Chains A and B, each alone.
Chain A
Amino acid sequence: MTARRARPAVVLKVPSRTEFLAVVRDVTRAMAEVAGFNRGAAEEIALAVDEAATNVIEHAYRRAADRTVELRYEDRGEDLKVDVVDNGATVDPKAMPQVDLARYATERRKGGLGVHLMGKIMDSVTFHRTARRNVCCLVRHKPEGAAGGDGAEGADETR
């Protein structure tokens, strides 16, 4: 196996407004494709990051529109790591009820699907707080054969 080349981190800062979620999605998809994921996998990763940014806007910032959502993309060679960072209220994702789709509709719930979706798409989703900032860390491994954007074919794996 050839060594996969890590790349410098890229940082994107967007206002905490839902109209910028489309920008988050477009940039994330592009970053994932540059990292070597194929289009389908890149779309999935973009969705997971969209969900994380949505959670920040809706829960950490409670829809305050004058805050900033920071996204830090890091191609580490073996995987793509995306940190979604805010300085809003700490939200404990473990406090959110687990999604049981069979019961979800009868409970007439609407929330909670985003975290569930993030967990299905990414290999790792972790939350921690550091220096008064909340960090949601999303990691997706590249399948064997993905070259980290060095010119080989993209990672051909979707969930």
Chain B
Amino acid sequence: MSELNVESRELEGVVLLYPKGFVNAHTVRLFEGEIQKALDRSQYQIVVNCAGLTYIASAGLGALMGVIEEVRHNGGDIRLADLNETVRNIFEILGFNHLYRIFPSEVEAILSFRGEGEGGGPGA
């Protein structure tokens, strides 16, 4: 059973993360590690494409919350795209939909960073 793998790539200065599987207490370190790699490179514009994310427990939500202050303090953000119904519902139960910008598609999430600093600046 594939529990979680996280691929990443960069587009127009935005780091794109693709978690595939589920994030809970068992897999959260991998998820955290991939976010941390971006921060270690001083890349603070991050889109988590949730198309392959089947489920996220509080450990995963905590991982997002644990770094968001640092990310925003550095002028960036973590934005989410393409959530399935289960994941979206979990976000809404906790009110995370008020704390994070959620987009229907990855493209919209990437474009939302345009004009917000070094990653995908004006005219990019």
* Residue positions of A touching B, CB distance < 8 A: 18-19, 21-22, 25, 40, 43-44, 47, 50-51, 54, 57-58, 101, 104-106, 108-111, 113-114, 116-117, 120-121, 158-159
Contact A117 B25 (CB under 8 A): no
Nearest chain B CB to A123's CB is how many angstroms away?
14
B62, B94, B96, B98: the one contacting A111 at CB < 8 Å is B62
* Residue positions of B touching A, CB distance < 8 A: 1, 3, 22, 24-26, 55, 57-59, 61-63, 65-66, 68-69, 85-86, 89-90, 93-96, 98-99
Nearest chain B CB to A120's CB is how many angstroms away?
5
Contact A117 B26 (CB under 8 A): no
A106: B residues at CB distance < 8 A: 69
Contact B59 A54 (CB under 8 A): yes
Contact B86 A43 (CB under 8 A): yes
The complex places the Cα of A21 from the Cα of B89 at a distance, in Å, of 20
Nearest chain A CB to B56's CB is how many angstroms away?
9
A25, A54, A113, A158: the one contacting B61 at CB < 8 Å is A113
Residue of B nearest to A117 (CB): B58
B59: A residues at CB distance < 8 A: 54, 110, 114
- Assuming the contacts A47-B57, A106-B69, asked whether A58 and B94 have C-beta atoms less than 8 A apart, the reply is no
Contact B94 A101 (CB under 8 A): yes
Contact A105 B62 (CB under 8 A): no
- Assuming the contacts A21-B25, A22-B22, asked whether A108 and B94 have C-beta atoms less than 8 A apart, the reply is no
B63: A residues at CB distance < 8 A: 110
The complex places the Cα of A117 from the Cα of B55 at a distance, in Å, of 14
A19, A25, A113: the one contacting B55 at CB < 8 Å is A25
A19, A40, A111, A113: the one contacting B26 at CB < 8 Å is A19
The complex places the Cα of A44 from the Cα of B89 at a distance, in Å, of 8
Nearest chain B CB to A102's CB is how many angstroms away?
8
Contact A158 B65 (CB under 8 A): no
The complex places the Cα of A19 from the Cα of B1 at a distance, in Å, of 11
Contact A50 B57 (CB under 8 A): yes
Can you list 21 contacts pairing A with B, beta carbon distance less than 8 Å? A18-B26, A19-B26, A21-B57, A22-B3, A43-B89, A47-B90, A54-B58, A54-B59, A101-B94, A101-B96, A101-B98, A105-B69, A110-B59, A110-B63, A113-B58, A113-B62, A114-B57, A114-B58, A116-B94, A117-B58, A121-B93
